[in-house]
Structure 1
């Protein structure tokens, strides 16, 4: 049962289940009526805000394209309005996650920006933003970028406690579930960079032309801006979008000093607002090229504020890293000169830029992995463990949020659902009279899985990565049709609930380890997305949901159960229930931490 996620279904496979009645697997029964309303025509998220702007010459750069600074102002305004619609009080920008610009916008085109609150925490909330450009003459549309912003609700005299967002559609449920995981990543981002630099030597390109190196100091830019009333938001603080626009301006100048051309901004990494500034403040914006790679460069920007000229102390209020390229007439990136960093802080920034590039490449690889085109297992490396863990949990939450699960079999209150999209997935569900924290503790320890799952012959803990992640080597018996047993190298990522309505999560996926390569003794199995979601139903009652996508080697076993020709799923899940009931009293001391 540990195998999962698979390949394209064979032709005609869908017809096996065409006569079955569709029934959704609803995580929260009380929201069923609202979910039905969401599927009706005319539904609109109550926090959704839309802005449309016609791009005029005053909004463009020298190429007649919308300047990124102006776009950032519109994005921040739209997102802020969405956040305030949910909070019912003023909100301030806390951060803006990575933004990748896929398309430029020309003068005369229309920019359509849509923002909505994905999830609210205590006093902060994540807002998702989509930007699309539109040509009014041809009616064509292009996706420009997507962004995620964090806003904090603010009242002068009282502490804000935000109401929770109730997701209704499949997309809303997915974003709501994954938002907690993204928040977790934001909190550990700085530590991830430090850990990467501490344990890995950053290697320079061996073919650098030293004669073509530019001292980093030649790219340094410093500019001061006086915050005037037109630069303030409706609360009297400096408008966050204005600060981001000023940052983009000085970063572009720094990049131009390296390449002696007009660079194009391709990505922004984490605007982080550390504190406010007000009308009358002086903002000092500093930018420098941290590192230049073959076809791209990273520019670091920071913003400091002070009130009076006589002040010696400046407040660090914002920072960001921007990636630029120089495009030729065919829109292909040109080769850039190398950077020679200054000793001390310059060398630190140089190495950190290389670390951030590695992280970006790791994330891009994980996102772009297409199941039908490459191995399902992802190489495990301590440098990408944060993002592997993130995508492990996010993939399971995305599968869980799907709307079109179909009830296939029900035996003694054990339900088997199937999901037929590009791949076949199945979902088992039952309610056990055991506390959710106890179920979480028992099922998250994979070394105990052979006690109830006969599909696991042995499970060895290979590495305890941290409190929430571990890697196991799993050996399963020989399935029908195979000549030898299978083995798996599994990353298990567990998460406690972020809010009272969240499930406990145990996510599983295959990874590759140099210490556990494929051997002739076993047939190496793979799983991309599987695991448990555990919902607290009462003081001593838990809904146990197991999700799995079927790999080719496991497909026949799955379809046999779905077609009612076998009860292996039912027997395994009932064995799991017995295991939970028999061992629930052994965990009392350890549950104090949950």
Structure 2
């Protein structure tokens, strides 16, 4: 893990009124509770529009996070990274910022600090959530002495216990991130070679090189923290400044910072260093744009030798404010090999951000199953098939991975994530339909299906099944109760349809040994291509119950969907060979 030697410190000089308090909940030691910082937003903290500058907020967030980390560790700590920052609310002059920080979980020599920011309207007292972020801190070494952090007391609220559990998941994603990024970059280079990322635009594309911004800062004593190194929050604020300039050069407006992929600190800097900030737009995605920022430090004694140290990097996501006349960014292109790497890297990071959002922030959407009965089977069957056809008809599917026989696509709209897997199978469409519409055969090719039993048969086209699936990260198995609706083509060119959705039946109550899970819309569309070849397309509208089985593919550390698809193809083609011979 890369380490930053610039942990935060409470800066009271000309920063407005600051109140720092610690939790004294009953039965809890002072040193184990959250810390809170209250700041009144003054004009000196605001931008030209009277809004709190993101850089100033990042300073305060780094300050309180470092103090929480050091209180838990009992010694000096430094920031390794800050990630998962999503700004949800605009803060204006006259409002009050409340920042809470607590150590969510401690690992041997590192810990995760959760930072939660709220804004309060003074006159009405209304509180709104501004953002949340997660910082990784490590103990600052003293000579050769090794410090092992004490565990975090989790005998607190339900919220604290949940964050303690999720901290290990976030750490797992961080550790996988580098490997996943490399794997996905290879996939997207393959997609580019197939022409799937060549943008077609009516207007000329803008080169990302035109957005390049470079700035230099001299580190002075006021910029140092209580360790004598450059204050990490100050570096973040400088980075935000140059990133905003780069984004504004692309849209010729004042963009709004909405998210930070990750601030990653790689090394220390100190008073007297010259810090060079380099920012450039990496890629634009219609309503958002990613700006990459790199920070290099030059020692004052070696300034003329040109030997920089890479000390920090970050990727910031900007949007155009709602009140602006133009709501989309222009299309961009690259003109250098490095620009191509940045361009595709932004696509990969967008996918990883999407995966992190759904994996880490997905919540139980409530029951989505509907009661099954013979009196409503026609209605349920119609809606089951219609939902699958509507899902298949969505525009804007993005290719994630394409091989000779399997193509994987994703579609995200607001918080709704959908997956599509296209398979080319050397068998007739009718044969594939006959095998896939009997869900009891699915354990033969899908490793996630442990068993499948027929519960009730409505008619020739509607059947209810009880499916038991394996566990992913330990714990209990999951089970589903599916209504399967199958339809043959009404005319040439129509697909065979196999639609699935969760239902409830009295004969299959929840089992305490399994986690009852649900699927809202899933299934297969099968198109005849030319005998004996067909195209089998699998769709799934991802729910919290389905997410554990596809999150590896989303985040880039697994190819389980491709593997399952190849197994399905082998099953369908092997059955044809058996029939022929």
Q: Return the TM-score normalized by structure 2.
A: 0.62
Is the contact between residue 459 and residue 472 of structure 1 (CA under 8 Å) also seen in structure 2? no
Shift of 1:373: 5.6
| 1:198 corresponding residue in structure 2 | 186
1:348 matches 2:349? no
1:241 matches 2:233? yes
Select 2:48's aligned residue among 62, 83, 87: 62
Inter-partner Cα distance in structure 1 for 2:480 and 2:400: 15
Is the contact between residue 254 and residue 288 of structure 1 (CA under 8 Å) also seen in structure 2? yes
| 1:472 corresponding residue in structure 2 | 448
547 and 55 in structure 1: CA distance in 2 versus 1, 3 angstrom threshold: farther
Shift of 1:198: 1.1
* SS of alignment partner, residue 186 of structure 1: helix
Is the contact between residue 479 and residue 516 of structure 2 (CA under 8 Å) also seen in structure 1? no
Select 2:159's aligned residue among 171, 192, 195: 171
Inter-partner Cα distance in structure 1 for 2:335 and 2:123: 51
Inter-partner Cα distance in structure 2 for 1:162 and 1:77: 20
238 and 552 in structure 1: CA distance in 2 versus 1, 3 angstrom threshold: closer
Select 2:315's aligned residue among 314, 321, 330: 321
* SS of alignment partner, residue 58 of structure 1: helix
275 and 39 in structure 1: CA distance in 2 versus 1, 3 angstrom threshold: closer
* SS of alignment partner, residue 472 of structure 2: strand
Structural mapping, 1:479-518, within 5 Å? 479=455, 486=465, 488=467, 490=469, 492-494=471-473, 505=475, 508=478
Inter-partner Cα distance in structure 1 for 2:513 and 2:226: 48
Is the contact between residue 493 and residue 508 of structure 1 (CA under 8 Å) also seen in structure 2? no
1:92 matches 2:78? yes
114 and 259 in structure 1: CA distance in 2 versus 1, 3 angstrom threshold: same
Is the contact between residue 126 and residue 151 of structure 1 (CA under 8 Å) also seen in structure 2? yes
247 and 508 in structure 1: CA distance in 2 versus 1, 3 angstrom threshold: farther
| 1:105 corresponding residue in structure 2 | 91
Inter-partner Cα distance in structure 1 for 2:320 and 2:273: 35
Is the contact between residue 56 and residue 108 of structure 1 (CA under 8 Å) also seen in structure 2? yes
Shift of 1:180: 1.0
Shift of 1:229: 1.1
Report Cα offsets for 1:147-178 as digits up to 9, x if no partner: 11101111313111000012012222211112
Shift of 1:361: 3.3
Structural mapping, 1:205-284, within 5 Å? 207-211=200-204, 213-284=205-276
| 1:121 corresponding residue in structure 2 | 107
Is the contact between residue 491 and residue 511 of structure 1 (CA under 8 Å) also seen in structure 2? no
* SS of alignment partner, residue 98 of structure 1: strand
* Structure 1: gaps of 5 or more residues: 1-37, 388-455, 464-470, 495-503, 528-544, 554-594
* SS of alignment partner, residue 148 of structure 1: strand
Higher relative contact order (CA 8 A, sep 6+): 1
44 and 209 in structure 1: CA distance in 2 versus 1, 3 angstrom threshold: farther
Inter-partner Cα distance in structure 2 for 1:55 and 1:509: 51
* SS of alignment partner, residue 548 of structure 1: strand
Structural mapping, 1:335-374, within 5 Å? 335-364=328-357, 367=361, 370-372=365-367
Inter-partner Cα distance in structure 2 for 1:248 and 1:548: 44
| 1:79 corresponding residue in structure 2 | 65
Is the contact between residue 488 and residue 524 of structure 1 (CA under 8 Å) also seen in structure 2? no
| 1:160 corresponding residue in structure 2 | 147
Report Cα offsets for 1:442-493 as digits up to 9, x if no partner: xxxxxxxxxxxxxx99984757xxxxxxx42233334479885626484642
Is the contact between residue 480 and residue 516 of structure 2 (CA under 8 Å) also seen in structure 1? no
Shift of 1:316: 1.1
Inter-partner Cα distance in structure 1 for 2:297 and 2:30: 40
1:143 matches 2:142? no
Is the contact between residue 100 and residue 116 of structure 2 (CA under 8 Å) also seen in structure 1? yes
* SS of alignment partner, residue 125 of structure 2: coil
Is the contact between residue 193 and residue 355 of structure 1 (CA under 8 Å) also seen in structure 2? yes
Inter-partner Cα distance in structure 1 for 2:64 and 2:467: 46
Inter-partner Cα distance in structure 1 for 2:64 and 2:177: 26
Shift of 1:324: 0.9
Moved over 6 A (4+): 38-45, 374-379, 381-385, 456-459, 480-483, 509-512, 517-523
382 and 460 in structure 1: CA distance in 2 versus 1, 3 angstrom threshold: farther
Is the contact between residue 457 and residue 477 of structure 1 (CA under 8 Å) also seen in structure 2? yes
| 1:413 corresponding residue in structure 2 | none
Select 2:173's aligned residue among 160, 185, 196: 185
Inter-partner Cα distance in structure 2 for 1:274 and 1:177: 27
Structural mapping, 1:455-470, within 5 Å? 460=443, 462=445
75 and 507 in structure 1: CA distance in 2 versus 1, 3 angstrom threshold: farther
Inter-partner Cα distance in structure 1 for 2:478 and 2:218: 52
**RMSD across aligned C-alpha pairs, in angstroms?**
3.9
Structural mapping, 1:365-384, within 5 Å? 367=361, 370-372=365-367
Structural mapping, 1:385-464, within 5 Å? 460=443, 462=445
Inter-partner Cα distance in structure 2 for 1:178 and 1:365: 13
Is the contact between residue 217 and residue 288 of structure 1 (CA under 8 Å) also seen in structure 2? yes
Q: Return the TM-score normalized by structure 1.
A: 0.61
* SS of alignment partner, residue 332 of structure 2: strand
Report Cα offsets for 1:115-170 as digits up to 9, x if no partner: 00000001110011110011111211111001111011113131110000120122
* Structure 2: gaps of 5 or more residues: 1-23, 370-383, 393-398, 402-406, 411-438, 488-496, 504-511, 521-581
